[in-house]
Amino acid sequence: MSHHIVAVKNLRHVYPDGTEALRDVSFRIHHGESVAIIGANGAGKSTLLLHLNGYLAPTSGEIQIGDFPLNKGTLPQIRRTVGMVFQDPDDQLFMPTVYDDVAFGPLNLGLSGGDLDRCVIEALERVGARHLVEKAPYHLSGGEKRRVAVATVLSMSPDILVLDEPTNGLDPYSRRQLIALLKEFRHTRIFTSHDLDMVLDLCERTIVLKDGEVRADGPTLEIFQDRELLEECRLEKPLSLQGCPVCGTRR
């Protein structure tokens, strides 16, 4: 087994309309690391994540997941390793009931009967959505959909969890619950977020994208203390690192 679980080398992506969303992106992520990918709107974060399990193919460059180079032949193996939670839960939920959506992946892995039921219920319990099991996904609220979308991925027990803006649209209680859940996930975590307090809380390492390129890659706290970098990349310090506007002390 290689010592890194994700290796991205000179990745470039040009969309069919000519937009060059990723220019020359390289990094490696090790087993068990928790890594945030941050950047302003349009920096290329979602485009990058969508390459990590083959939803988008590189225009040029290479991606390796564990021991496998990502290509058509290795796609099934890689999709078992990388669990992807999309930015829009409607892209993830397409079955008539929540049960069917969460069962979809494990069913394809060969689970059935009581084992399948247990797997589905356990995944829904982990995201606090057990009570939604019989519902139609299109009847759920935005926050409920997001939690169920996370459950569809947890039910597959992936080695790498990839989440695109996971706290988007969650109320404060659900946000805290999701952060606690992500902390429990002991495998590799990679996610994008504009929720910089969550990034600070969950990720020891942060990669900053700017205009489709890696502008910085290092310890999260160091990144958030680099005022010039934050300004250049149109980012702000997490609230928890900002001084109190009244007395000047740090929260």
Ligand X SMILES: Nc1ncnc2c1ncn2[C@@H]1O[C@H](COP(=O)(O)OP(=O)(O)OP(=O)(O)O)[C@@H](O)[C@H]1O
- Residue 215 tokens read as 């502008």
Of 18 and 110, the one with the shorter C-beta distance to ligand X is 18
- Binding residues for ligand X, per CB under 6 A? 15, 17, 19, 21, 39, 41-47
- Residue 74 tokens read as 């290795």
Of 39 and 106, the one with the shorter C-beta distance to ligand X is 39
Least Å from the CB of residue 196 to ligand X:
13
Task: Tell me how far apart the alpha carbons of residues 116 and 155 are, in angstroms, rounded to a whole number.
Answer: 9
Of 42 and 219, the one with the shorter C-beta distance to ligand X is 42
Helices 142-154 & 172-184 angle (0-180, nearest 10): 10
Least Å from the CB of residue 242 to ligand X:
21
Of 41 and 249, the one with the shorter C-beta distance to ligand X is 41
Classify 187 as helix, strand or coil. Answer: coil
Of 101 and 195, the one with the shorter C-beta distance to ligand X is 195
Beta-sheet pairing, 4-14 with 20-30: antiparallel
Least Å from the CB of residue 39 to ligand X:
5
Task: Tell me how far apart the alpha carbons of residues 120 and 210 are, in angstroms, rounded to a whole number.
Answer: 39
Least Å from the CB of residue 194 to ligand X:
7
Contact (Cβ atoms closer than 8 angstroms) between residue 101 and residue 95: yes
Residue that has been written with the tokens 């996610």 in this structure? 191
Least Å from the CB of residue 163 to ligand X:
13
